[in-house]
Amino acid sequence: MVNTDGTGFTTLHSFTASYGSYPVYTNSDGANPYAGLILSGNTLYGTTYKGGSSGRGTVFSLSLPSWMAGLYVPGTSDPWLAGMPNGSVSGWDQAYDSAPAESPVQVSNLVISSGAVFTFSASGAEANGGPPSYGGAGALFGPDGNITNNTSRYPGAENGMADIYVPIDALLGVFLDDNVPSNFPAPAALDFSTTATRDFSSLKPVLRQPFLIGDGLTSQGIIQQFVAPQGATRLFLGPMDGYGWADNFGGFMVTVTVLPQLTIIPSGPNVVLTWATNYAGFTLQSSTHPVSPAVWTTVSPEPVVVNGQNTVTNSISGTQQFFRLSQ
């Protein structure tokens, strides 16, 4: 995912230089990537049409960083079965969906914790009731759903999870703690029925409160951020439907990223800034004024590793400074 100003991307791999003469150029890992990437688990697979030992291309794989997870979310994933034991049911008259057949997809490759900030990138399409070519009544829609058809659940809140008002077929998420959600009363429902309510820059739902993810971007193409609530330990994903996820068709490919958390600790005449070392490609920047059009500059000196954390010590003097981590 890339911001509209060209920032926000992560370089997963840079292919080595190739050598030779036309039409054969060789190297160790390929050149000229061709077609799209295929995600399987936390590994991306792709092809090049040049380079490699023969000069005729390669098949390659790339592992996602430890702070990213890729997963497929089938259209049959019912968010209101999140965290519910096998045999639990969800839906109109309690007759349409059951766990684990229609359980939503859990994000299992990332640590989910209070205050963690997530971004999402989603593609693909799903249909409620299946597409007409398969005898269903639904049309395929992308992760933003059908914005001309907002809906809530016919049963409303269920299994301790809130109702929601949102475009049908849109990609949703719900944060849980370690408890069975049906042991608690449902929180208030969120409303994403207008462009204004969908165009948030940051969202912090409470536990057991389904929320809109969509494609992870505002209508202006700005990356949205999602903050895990107090007590969160699990995150589940699934599309929106009114009831009866079992006959849905299609699904979404989703990449989840947990952003690094920057900690600032006063220390005498200095401030100490730290963040985890596993976030390769992030740079500490500062600005005297964080509101657009802010000018952000790279902080000097370079970080040093202390107790497994990237650490920068800056003097508390002069003009006030704001700090961020940027890719």
Residue 136 in this model has a pLDDT that exceeds 60:
no
pLDDT digits (tens, 9 = 90+) for 243-275: 889 989 899 999 999 988 889 999 999 899 999
Residue 216 in this model has a pLDDT that exceeds 70:
yes
- Residues forming beta bridges with residue 235, ordered by sequence position: 175
pLDDT digits (tens, 9 = 90+) for 233-242: 999 999 999 9
Long-range contacts of 182-189, Cβ-Cβ distance < 8 Å, separation of 24 or more = 182/84, 182/88, 184/160, 184/208, 185/160, 186/157, 186/158, 186/160, 186/161, 186/162, 187/162, 188/162, 189/152, 189/157, 189/162, 189/163, 189/164, 189/165
Separation between Cα atoms, residue 253 and residue 70, nearest integer Å: 7
* 197 sits in which H/E element: helix 195-198
pLDDT-derived band at 43 (thresholds 50, 70, 90) equals confident
pLDDT-derived band at 131 (thresholds 50, 70, 90) equals low
pLDDT-derived band at 121 (thresholds 50, 70, 90) equals very high
pLDDT of residue 135: 45
CA-nearest of 251, 276, 274 to 264 is 274
Which overall architecture, per CATH, does domain 68-258 show? Sandwich (2.60)
pLDDT-derived band at 16 (thresholds 50, 70, 90) equals confident
| Residues 6 or more apart in contact with residue 280 via CB below 8 angstroms | 65
pLDDT of residue 295: 86
Q: Count of H helices and E strands in the chain?
A: 1, 26
Contact predicate 69/40, CB 8 Å: no
Tell me where in the chain the CATH 2.60.120.430 domain(s) lie.
68-258
Contact predicate 47/41, CB 8 Å: no
Contact predicate 109/171, CB 8 Å: no
Residues listed for the chain: 327
User: Is-cis flag, bond preceding 132, omega within 30?
Assistant: no
